[in-house]
Amino acid sequence: MYYVVTGAAGFIGSNLVKALNDRGETNIIAVDNLKKADKFKNLTDCEIADFIDKEDFIAKLNSGSFDGDLQAVLHQGACSDTMESDGRYMMENNYRYSLDVMNHCQNEDIPFLYASSASVYGMGPVFSENRKHESPLNVYAYSKFLFDQVMRRRWDDRSGQIVGLRYFNVYGQREQHKGRMASVAFHFFNQFRADGHVKLFEGCEGYGNGEQLRDFVSIEDVVKVNMFFLENQNKSGIFNLGTGQAQSFNDVAVATINTLRAAKGETVLTKDQMLHQQLMRYIPFPEQLKGKYQSYTQADVKALRTVGFADLFLTVEQGTARYVNHLLKVST
């Protein structure tokens, strides 16, 4: 019997493969598209049974090649570029692909854990798992929203576990291949190392410079929640996966800079001191993002807590420090 992780060479997928390894599981089928070949690096320290291209996987799945052979599917494969304008590609890659995988899991009565997104909430301001709060702003968000809607329509007829996890702003190791879509912590780390300062957006929509608020969640916590549901297959639903606490981009910048300074034996600075020394600098807010940017997100995690996930989440200060120290280790 095999676990399947789709998007296995990507950011969250590769961390889930590694987490399964840490639990002694090596019968893993890794599914991905390696057109961006550098993603393979995310799997070099992982043990898998097979790697299958996404298109081959769908064909094999629909032909019955995997019938009776799968233990669970952790479906992370998707186009995550929120600026992608090809709606047909987005719907085929994110929506139709997910339906094929979900249908197989239901037919086989096996757990299906899939990646949804906090982008379904649009501009907010309420982020709880309820249709009235959902208003996607782009086709990426709509593809995720529509799949969640299908899950709701089929809820009473489900045969196996179904868990949709609405990821908020995830950051952490194994995201280096994502380029401009990587987390702000990753970009701040590289900016400061290269230029001696970090760049943040000026204020917009009533928020001060760098004071836009997001629910930043560490990949370590994302893995924990996925493993919790894999170990509790009697629990199903659509759940927010964030910390439940919004923090500012300024907070991420301060945590990144101070961790880098501490690694060099330098003193901790306040935000004001960093601004005075121009270690933090603000740039104009991009015109193309106006009206399409979530200036505030904060996960309502009551549903997640109600089903029994009780672990504390890392704060921006804790998670960023751990991540920056990891980046320092692998870059030296």
Which residues are known catalytic residues?
A: 140, 178
Question: CA 89 to CA 80: how far, in whole Å?
Answer: 12
Question: CA 173 to CA 191: how far, in whole Å?
Answer: 17
- In degrees, to the nearest 5, what angle opens at C-alpha 148 toward C-alphas 143 and 151? 130
Distance of CA 96 to the CA centre of its chain: 20
**Side-chain half-sphere of 169: how many Cα atoms within 13 Å?**
29
3-state secondary structure string, 263-282? HCCCCCCCHHHHHHCCCEEE
Is 55:34 a contact under the CB 8 Å cutoff? Answer: no
- In degrees, to the nearest 5, what angle opens at C-alpha 78 toward C-alphas 73 and 84? 170
Question: CA 279 to CA 256: how far, in whole Å?
Answer: 11
Phi, psi of 6 (to 5 degrees): -85, 155
The amino acid at residue 243 is: T
